[in-house]
Amino acid sequence: MNNTRILKVELGARSYPIRIGRSIAGLDTAFPESAGRSLRVVTDSNVEPLYLEALLGALSLTRDQVYVVPAGEASKTWDSAGKVLDWLLESRLSRDGCLIALGGGVIGDLTGFVASIYQRGIDFIQIPTTLLAQVDSSVGGKTGVNHARGKNLIGAFHQPISVVADTDTLATLPKRELLAGLAEVIKYGMLADGLLFEWLESNLDRILSLNPNSLAEIIERCCAIKARIVGLDERETGSGPRALLNLGHTFGHAIETYTGYTEWLHGEAVATGLVLAADLSARHGWITEAVAARCTALIARAGLPVAPPKGMTAEHFRDLMGLDKKVKAGKLRLILLRGLGDAVLSSDFEQDLLDETLAAAC
C-alpha cells in the first residue's frame, strides 16, 4: 500500500491498527495480522466483481474461501448470519481462523457479528469500501444484525484485529453513498474537531473530486476521533463520551422512521439532523447563529439535505423522538453543540426552543 497512514485504537491492554492508503493490489503488505492464518472472506454482490479478485490475489486465497451475500441492508439479518455460520462450519474453519469483511457497513456489521459468535468468537479484519464504513462503522467493534422490530437489535461488541481502508475503492461508490458518508465526516468536525470542520470548508471540492490525499486526510482525522472516543468508552456506557458520536442522530432517526428507511439514506437523515442540532444549539445561545449557518452551508454545499422531508411536521418529530407535549423537557437527552467541535450530551435544553427549531424547519 502506498503512503500508508497508520493509527491505533487503544483499548486498555489491547490495541489494533487502522491502515489508510491506496492500491488494493498492494494489500498484502497491509495485512501482517493475517499472515499464517486460515482466512475466509465475506463480501457482497456489488463489491465482489470490483475488488474480490485483487484481494484474493494479494492474499493467495481461492474462491472457495469466499462467501457472497446479496448487496444491501436486507442481508443484515439473523438468517444471513446463520447461512455464513453454516458455511464456516462446513468449510471447517478452526478457532484460530480469521474472517475478512470486504464491503460497506452491512458486510462489516454482519461479518463482525458472525466472528463474535463462531466457536465462541474468532478474529476478524475489516476492509471497509464505503466512506461511511471507512470513517465510522469499521472502527469501534459494534457488530450486529437487524430484527423485524428494529435495526441493530441483535449484536455484540467485537473489535477487529485490524482495519484496512483503501481510498481507491471509493472511486466506484455511487455518489449518493459517498455523500451519505460525508455527512458523518461533517458530523465529526462539528462534534469534536473545529479544525477538521474548517478544513472541510476549504477542501470540499477536493473531496468531491476524490483527491486521494484529501480522502486519506478526512478518513485519518475521523478515525482518530472515533479511536479516541472508543478508547475512552468501549461499550457506550450511558452518558459516556461515545454517545457524542450520535450528534444529529436523534433527529435523523426520526426522519428515517418517518420515511420508512427506504427514501432517505442514513447519512442524508443525519445531515438534516445536524442542521437541526446546530439550530437548536444556536437558539440556546450555546453557539452563534453564524456558526449554525456555517454548518448548514457546508452540508448544503456537499449536496446533502438541510430540511426534513416534505409532509413531515413538528408533531411527527415529537412523536418519533418520544417527546409528547406533556412530557417535560429534560427527559429526552440530545447531543448539542457548545461550540464548533465541542458537543455535549444535554438534558437541560428548552422544550420551547426545540418547538421553535422544529416549527422553523418543517
Q: Whole-number minimum distance, CB 284 to ligand NAD, in Å?
A: 28
Residue count, binding to ligand NAD (CB under 6 A): 28
**DSSP assignment string, 178-221:** HHHHHHHHHHHHHHH-HHHHHHHHHHHHHHHTT-HHHHHHHHHH
Among 97, 104, 252, 273, binds ligand NAD (CB under 6 A): 104
Our CB check for ligand NAD shows the closer of 141 and 354 to be 141
CB atoms < 10 A from the CB of 317, how many?
Answer: 23
Q: Considering only residues 22 through 51, tell me which ones interact with ligand NAD, judged by CB under 6 A.
A: 44, 46-47, 50
Beta strands 342-346; 123-128: pairing state: unpaired
Could you say which of 109, 193, 268, 279 contacts ligand NAD (CB under 6 A)?
A: 109
Residue 210, Ramachandran bin (φ over 0: left; ψ between -120 and 50: alpha; else beta): left
What residues contact 151, with CB distance under 8 A and at least 6 apart? 261
Place of cell 467485537: 158
Among 169, 246, 272, 296, binds ligand NAD (CB under 6 A): 169
CB of 45 to ligand NAD, least distance (A): 7
Q: How far is the CB of 34 from ligand NAD (least distance, A)?
A: 20
Q: Tell which positions 181-210 bind ligand NAD, by CB under 6 A.
A: none
The rounded distance, in Å, linking the Cα atoms of 289 and 270 is 20
**Which secondary-structure segment (H or E) carries 19?**
strand 14-22
Residue 107 is a binding residue for ligand NAD (CB under 6 A): yes
> Under a CB-based contact definition with an 8 Å cutoff, are residues 294 and 281 in contact?
no
Residues numbered 114 to 143 that lie near ligand NAD (CB under 6 A) are 129-130, 132-133, 136-137, 140, 142
Q: Between 156 and 362, whose beta carbon lies closer to ligand NAD?
A: 156
- Which residue in 148, 158, 154, 78 sits closest to 123, CA to CA? 158
We find the least distance from the C-beta atom of residue 223 to ligand NAD, in angstroms, to be 12
What does the chain come to in residues?
Answer: 362
Q: How far is the CB of 265 from ligand NAD (least distance, A)?
A: 7
User: Of the candidates 229, 210, 205, which has an alpha carbon nearest to the alpha carbon of residue 166?
Assistant: 210
**List of residues 6+ apart from 273 with CB closer than 8 A:** 247, 248, 249, 250, 251, 252, 253, 255
Give the residue with the Cβ less far from ligand NAD, 139 or 361.
Answer: 139
Q: Which of the ranges 99-107, 157-165, 211-219, 353-361 carries the binding residues for ligand NAD, by CB under 6 A?
A: 99-107
- Taking the least distance from each CB to ligand NAD, the nearer of 42 and 358 is 42
Which set of grid coordinates corresponds to residue 83?
447461512
Site string for ligand NAD, 62-91 (x = CB under 6 A): ---------xxx--x---------------
**Rule CB under 6 A: which of 141-160 touch ligand NAD?**
142, 151-152
Question: How far is 26 from 19, CA to CA, in rounded Å?
Answer: 13
- As measured in angstroms, the least distance from the Cβ of 248 to ligand NAD is 13
Point out which residues bind ligand NAD (CB under 6 A).
44, 46-47, 50, 71-73, 76, 103-107, 109, 129-130, 132-133, 136-137, 140, 142, 151-152, 169, 172-173, 177
